Amino acid sequence: MQRTASRPAWRSARRLALAAWFGLAATSAAPAAPPVPDTLAQRLLACTVCHGREGRASADGFYPRIAGKPAGYLFNQLTGFRDGRRHYDLMTALIDPLSEDYLRRIAAHFAALDLPYPPPQPPTAPPAVLARGRALVFDGDARRDLPACTACHGAALTGVAPAIPGLLGLPRDYLVAQLGAWRTGRRHALAPDCMAVVAKALAPDEVAAVAQWLAAQPVPTPAAPAATLPAPLPRRCGSMPQ
């Protein structure tokens, strides 16, 4: 004769069955989460964790704005981290698995963003320092074969397509850090590295003066990079196609 389950065992099995049923019912009744679109814009939200909403820069001034920068410049920076011309382990780890075509797509995405800039930082330097910074930006120093910033970065300092970035709308700490990295050999561009030559020609107090003046300037509207340079570059730059 077949034995029936004991009452305690039956009750235990019943409780498990009911729990499973109610769990299934609750799951089926809950609204399904909307699907996440598999688009490039959705994937690149990861970049905004450091570079700020829509790539507008971080509040701490360490991570620069990438929205609206020339596509060629952004691509050069991505490959610079990949190839060791720039050094930041997190960026290198993120970029290493990506193909060159995908890096170009990332660069094109952020270059196409036309977003407003925040107000500039108030200067903390005295007027004489700001005047020195402005003179270097617009005039350079012919005695030292030091070109003006506008000779490469455009008359409005908003950059030049396809690969020269704008200098406005950047925090002074970031500008000081990058010029310092070129001066010390920590940062490199494609050879011939014209920015390394320029940065090494600047004294530390001149780096500070240029950064103070640039960071205090409003970004013009429109802020798009210029289409062409008004004159040939003062020296060859590997980052800019000839």
3-class SS of residue 226: strand
Residue 200 near residue 188 (C-beta atoms within 8 A): no
Res 70 pLDDT > 80: yes
Residue of 18 and 80 predicted with greater confidence: 80
Chain mean pLDDT for the chain: 86
Query: pLDDT tens, 52-61?
Result: 888 888 777 7
pTM of the model: 0.81
Backbone phi, psi, residue 119, to 5°: -60, 155
Res 230 pLDDT > 90: no
Letter for the amino acid at 6? S
CA quadruple 107, 112, 118, 121: dihedral sign: positive
Query: pLDDT tens, 160-210?
Result: 999 999 999 999 999 999 999 999 999 999 999 999 999 999 999 999 999
Where are the extended beta strands (E) located within 86-197?
Answer: 159-160, 164-165
The alpha carbon of residue 75 and the mean position of all alpha carbons in its chain are separated, in whole angstroms, by 11
CA distance 105 to 67: 14
Letter for the amino acid at 222? P
> For residue 146, what are the β-bridge partners?
141
> For residue 226, what are the β-bridge partners?
160
Res 10 pLDDT > 50: no
Tokens of 51: 């570079």
pLDDT tier at 24, thresholds 50, 70, 90:
very low
